[in-house]
């Protein structure tokens, strides 16, 4: 080990400790003396073993250092090595004693400080010259509760009364055994709950954030549906396939904070783009409709299936035939175990979900109302279905009598183009009893393509070709969250949105061949 200094001299001296290497008037000195034998004073370096009366034969010149780089110069650097070694050993013993100690919980910490505050009233615990203890301990119940998570594992060994570089307040805390607890604050839990929950629904609502990105389809994703109880999602794509995803089987995505999920099963049976998909309430069956006019019936694979297993032909139960054009929408009725479908052939059909027999009923067979574009069940009356048509009409049908029960008010003049779902960017609310429109609002900057209501009936989610998903409070009809989810492709963006029936997931399907899951 060496250190370097500079001195100015005209003569050279050699010794067994110092080797001088000449170089003009400024000579470099390589000090080969072990560092532990050297000490420093204002006069420069000296060897403690050599008496100060014996000159070395040359003088040292302080090195040239910029004023900006100079720090505070200590008057003397002489430190007893024995004291340093002793302090190191003492510190190691203290740290060793703290290892493996379990973190005390909040209630125990509160009891400890309560006992300490009681002890502060005792006269022998209060030095007469010491001011009042720091206010942090006294305000123990006035701040956030999650500050307790920041405290390391603490122990309270008896102190010896000795302090090393310690002020009066710190010495007092050491005697009390506070240690790191002196700076701890814990909030009053009653204060945080002292508000009216009923008037703060939006304040307590969940904020959704992107979590999973599903990348495996080769073309736009037209529809998706969640398993009723498992963290499983099924997507339907224009690449003629459906894919099943287990959201618990994830891998870190490249250059992204989101997680990638690989599909665990691919459904292949359609001869064209798949436009719709729905799952039974038990999760054991799945149904898909496509451009080929067929409805394929599937047995849902086990969520823990090996994605590299060989093909199992038993997954496909069969197909429902009857439509002569694209199947745009599907909905499953758990009350009757029935399946509803709407098609570009102008009809709405009712099927027995447990068989592959022909349709049980056909609605709008004469196409009086137009061509249906979507279908759903009326949640308040399971015997009724509602369907919208490309001409802007909306009709409620009785599934048993097959009759039109109610036609919802559309506010369209005869011969005017469709404005309900496609062009006017509105979301409209209707009364199922009177058929009148009770509210209408501009919801997006482009066409609204999909709607979904959360399982509790409190929030509405909408997707649009403006690349955004918006969450609405159904009571106040106000937007409470908006986030961009997909990129545009051929002037299309988001095709479908969905809530998980029992878990905290929402998902969106995009024309960019991606599905996004938010938590």
What does the pLDDT look like over 84-126, one tens digit per residue?
Answer: 898 888 888 888 766 555 566 777 777 777 777 666 655 444 4
Concatenated DSSP letters of 320-351: E---SS-EEEEEEETTTTEEEEEETTS-EEEE
Residue 293 within a domain: yes
Residue 125 Cα distances to 19, 121, 133, 136, 442, angstroms: 62, 8, 11, 18, 70
The verdict on residue 373 lying in a domain is: yes
Q: Give pLDDT, residue 64.
A: 52
Looking at residue 3, its pLDDT comes to 45
- The pLDDT, as a whole number, for residue 348 is 96
Residue 339 in domain: yes
Kindly write down the DSSP assignment for every residue of 262-276, as one continuous string. Answer: EEEEEEE--SS-EEE
- State the Cα–Cα distance between residues 373 and 387, nearest whole angstrom: 7
Question: Torsion over CA of 342, 347, 348 and 351, rounded to 10 degrees?
Answer: -100
pLDDT at 485: 85
Q: How far apart, in whole angstroms, are the C-alpha atoms of residue 204 and residue 193? A: 12
Q: What is the pLDDT of residue 477?
A: 92
Q: Would you state the pLDDT for residue 257?
A: 57
- The answer to whether residue 227 sits within a structural domain is yes
User: Whole domain around residue 262: which residue ranges?
Assistant: 18-32+218-413+426-442
pLDDT for position 27 = 37
Q: Does a structural domain hold residue 438? A: yes
28-32 long-range Cβ contacts below 8 angstroms, 24+ apart = 28/4, 29/4, 29/5, 29/60, 30/2, 30/4, 31/2, 31/3, 31/4, 31/5, 32/2
* Rounded distance between C-alpha atoms, residue 461 and residue 455, angstroms: 12
The list of the chain residues with pLDDT below 50 reads: 1-45, 48, 54-56, 65, 67-71, 73-74, 123-200, 202-204, 413-422
Place of tokens 């942090």: 136
* pTM summary value: 0.60
**What is the predicted pLDDT for the residue at 312?**
84
Task: Tell me how many domains the chain contains.
Answer: 1
Does 25 fall in a domain? yes
Indicate which CATH number applies to the domain containing 318. Answer: 2.130.10.10
Q: Would 134 be classed as within a structural domain? A: no
String of b and e for 425-454 (b: at least 16 CB within 10 Å)?
Answer: bebbebeeeebeeeeeeebbebbbbbbbeb
Question: Does the residue 167 lie in any domain?
Answer: no
């Amino acid at each position: 080990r060496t250190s370097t200094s500079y001195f100015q001299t005209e003569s050279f001296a050699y010794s067994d400790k110092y080797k001088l290497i000449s170089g003009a008037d400024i000579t470099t000195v390589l000090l080969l003396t072990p560092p532990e034998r050297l000490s420093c004073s204002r006069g420069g370096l000296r060897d403690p073993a050599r008496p100060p009366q014996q000159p070395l034969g040359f003088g040292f010149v302080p090195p040239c250092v910029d004023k900006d780089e100079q720090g505070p110069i200590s008057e003397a650097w002489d430190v007893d090595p024995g004291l340093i070694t002793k302090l190191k050993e003492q510190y190691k013993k203290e740290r060793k004693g703290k290892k493996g100690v379990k973190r005390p919980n909040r209630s125990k910490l509160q009891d400890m400080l309560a006992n300490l505050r009681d002890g502060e009233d005792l006269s022998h615990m209060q030095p007469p010259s010491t001011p009042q203890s720091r206010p942090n301990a006294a305000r123990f119940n006035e701040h956030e509760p999650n500050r307790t998570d920041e405290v390391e594992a603490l122990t309270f060994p008896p102190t010896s009364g000795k302090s090393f570089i310690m002020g009066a307040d710190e010495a007092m805390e050491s005697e009390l055994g506070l240690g790191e607890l002196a700076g701890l604050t814990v909030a009053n839990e009653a204060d945080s709950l002292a508000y009216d929950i009923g008037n703060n629904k939006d304040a307590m609502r969940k904020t959704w954030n992107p979590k999973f990105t599903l990348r495996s389809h080769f073309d736009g994703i037209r529809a998706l549906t969640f398993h009723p109880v498992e963290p499983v999602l099924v997507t339907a794509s224009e690449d003629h396939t459906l894919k099943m995803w287990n959201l618990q089987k994830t891998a870190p995505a490249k250059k992204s904070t989101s997680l990638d999920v690989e599909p665990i099963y691919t459904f292949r049976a359609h001869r064209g783009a798949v436009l719709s998909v729905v799952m039974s309430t038990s999760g054991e069956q799945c149904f898909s409709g496509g451009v080929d006019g067929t409805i394929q019936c599937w047995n849902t694979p086990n969520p823990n299936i090996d994605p590299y297993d060989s093909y199992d032909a038993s997954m496909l139960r069969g197909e429902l035939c009857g439509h002569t054009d694209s199947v745009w929408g599907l909905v499953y009725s758990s009350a009757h175990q029935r399946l509803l479908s709407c098609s570009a052939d102008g009809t709405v059909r009712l099927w027995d979900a447990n068989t592959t027999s022909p349709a049980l009923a056909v609605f709008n067979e004469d196409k009086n109302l137009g061509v249906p574009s979507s279908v759903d069940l009326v949640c308040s009356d399971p015997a009724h279905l509602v369907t919208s048509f490309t001409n802007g009409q909306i009709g409620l049908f009785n599934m048993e009598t097959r009759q039109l029960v109610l036609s919802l008010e559309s506010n369209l003049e005869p011969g005017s183009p469709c404005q309900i779902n496609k062009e006017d960017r509105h979301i409209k609310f209707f009364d199922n009893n009177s058929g009148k429109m009770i509210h209408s609002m501009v919801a997006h900057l482009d066409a609204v393509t999909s709607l979904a209501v959360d399982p509790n009936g409190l929030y509405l989610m909408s997707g649009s070709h403006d690349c955004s998903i918006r969450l609405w409070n159904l009571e106040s009809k106000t937007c409470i969250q908006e986030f961009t989810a997909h990129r545009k492709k051929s002037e299309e963006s988001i095709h479908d949105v969905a809530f998980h029936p029992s878990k905290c997931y929402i998902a969106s399907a995009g024309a960019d061949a991606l599905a996004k899951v938010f938590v």
